[in-house]
Structures are given as structure tokens and as C-alpha cells.
Amino acid sequence: MKSPGSVLLALAACCGVLTLAAAQTPVQKPDLPVEKWTGKTILLIGAHADDDALSHGTLAMLQAHGNQVYVLTLTTGNVGTQDPRLSRLQLADIRRQEELAALKDLGIAPDHYINLGYDDGMLEFEDHKAVVENLVYWIRKLRPDVLFAWDPGKVYQRWHKADHRAAAYLAADAARAAMWRLLFQGQISQQGLKEFTIPEYMFYNDYDFQDENLWVDISAFEEQRVRAGSHYISQFGPGWKNYNPNPSEEELKAMKALVRKGIRTRDGKPIEGFRYYRGLPDAIGK
Ligand SMILES: [Zn+2]
């Protein structure tokens, strides 16, 4: 009988073989280039309202090409400031408004933004089962064709700051759990949901790009990424230390320049890079 436990045992029993097989596995690629995707449901899971900014060009493109894009943020971001005047509640509210404004610039509707409301900075100390159950609920409800998430690591665990590390593993754990009918069974027997296996993954990262195997040309969506990113006034530029909801023209220009500077290039084109993975979530880290 197949169960999560027996799969883990099977993995443990033959990990030598798996390692060998992984080393020989050709680089995975989507059947169709991301630029041609349409009609798909896309879910991005991040820890903070702005983790999605690393993928804004790709999300804008997917949205423009007739895909349904959802962004799920685990925390309210209620700690991320160096401005001594802001309270947690104020910051949570500011960051929600910033995120909704950014998503609007990408063409993503406010009801496609889901925030699970956990405290910023403490994600790995939350009740993991409860967080995974919450995520499984949304995975089973939205049934995404593709999950965007922080990269949990291909061979070794990635070094991320705490919430990103937790979000990487929680997203992967939820993707695994969502496929098991007998896990969180109440969602199925009482809430009308069904188990679901996510077929494709796009893992993002913020500084260690060695595992990337897919680069999306965002030339046509670069300006949208710049506009969207310039809404995170509390996070970048002078607002980090001295928040002002109405920045001057000059400050806004500087914000846009900062976002533009963060866009990577490859062969002279603006890109966003990912580790693409396809298959059962049991081998998500391999
Ligand atoms: Zn973050």
C-alpha cells in the first residue's frame, strides 16, 4: 500500500540509486516554453508581500497571456521596517496596500491575493502542521498547474533568511501533502475539495542562481515589473527608515531606478531565472 511513510522508506532504501539517477537525469524543460503558456492556473507562494517581485515580469507575462495568476503570502510582513514610528498593525496594512497596488500593475485582481496572516520573521516557529494544512487547502481549492515557490534546494538545503527558508519547505511539504487523499481528510469529506498533485514547479531564488535551468525573457514586461516594484515604498529606498506614503517625484524615480537595477540580464536581455521541476512532489528537492 502506498502511503507517505512507505514512499519515504522507499526513498531511504534506495537513495544511492536515486542519487545516481538524478546525476544522469537530463535538465527538465516544460513541454511548451513559458512564453507560450496560456489557460494555466499559476500559484506563487511567498513569505512576504514582495517575495513575488522576483518573478513580476514572468507573472505579468502569464497574466497577459490568459493564465490565472494567484499570489499567496504567508506573513503580513508586519516586522520589516527600520522606521521606529510604525506599529505592526500599520506596517501590515501598508504592506497589503503596496502588494495590491503592485499586483494591479501586473494585471492581477485583488481577489487573487491571499494572505494567511502569520507574523513576519517567525514563520519557522509556527505550528507547521497548521500552516501546511492551510496551504494544502489553497492548493486543493485552486488546483494550480504550476507552483512558484522559494527553492528548497536541489541537492543541499539552500541558505535563505529564516522566513524564506521556512516558506520554501512549507510550500514543498504542502505540495506533497495535497496529493494524499487521507491527509487533511476533512477538507475532502466536509469542504468539497479533492486531493491534487501539482504537475510543474518554478522555484525562485534571490542570490544563489547555480541550480537555475530556465530563464524567461521579460523584455516586453520589464516596464511593468519596474512600475509594480516601485510600489514597495516601505521596503526599498528612503521609506525603509522613514516611511512616507507620498514620495516625491524624485524619490519615485529613484525607486524605479532601484527596481530596474535589480533586474538580471542574459545575452543582453532582461530575464528572470528559475529552477523548473516537473513530476511527483516526493522528489521535489532532487
Ligand atoms: Zn521576503
Looking at the whole model, is its pTM more than 0.75? yes
CA angle 209, 95, 139 (to 5 degrees): 65
Alpha-carbon distance of 20 to 25, in angstroms, equals 9
The values of phi and psi at residue 50, to 5°, are 150, -5
> Please, are residues 262 and 150 in contact by the beta-carbon 8 Å criterion?
no
176 Cα distance to chain centroid: 16
Alpha-carbon distance of 264 to 58, in angstroms, equals 13
What is the band of 237 on the pLDDT scale with cuts at 50, 70, 90? confident
Q: Report domain extents, the chain.
A: 32-283
- pLDDT tens, residue by residue, 95-126: 999 999 999 999 999 999 999 999 999 999 99
The alpha carbon of 161 and the centre of ligand 1 are apart by a number of angstroms equal to 8
Alpha-carbon distance of 205 to 276, in angstroms, equals 12
- pLDDT tens, residue by residue, 140-167: 999 999 999 999 988 777 777 789 999 9
Provide the residues around ligand 1 (an ion) whose CB is within 5 A: 47-48, 51
CATH of 32-283, one of 3.40.50.2300, 3.20.20.70, 3.10.310.30, 3.40.50.10320: 3.40.50.10320
Residues 70-79 have a mean pLDDT of 98
The alpha carbon of 51 and the centre of ligand 1 are apart by a number of angstroms equal to 5
3-state class of 16 per DSSP?
helix
The alpha carbon of 203 and the centre of ligand 1 are apart by a number of angstroms equal to 14
The alpha carbon of 112 and the centre of ligand 1 are apart by a number of angstroms equal to 19
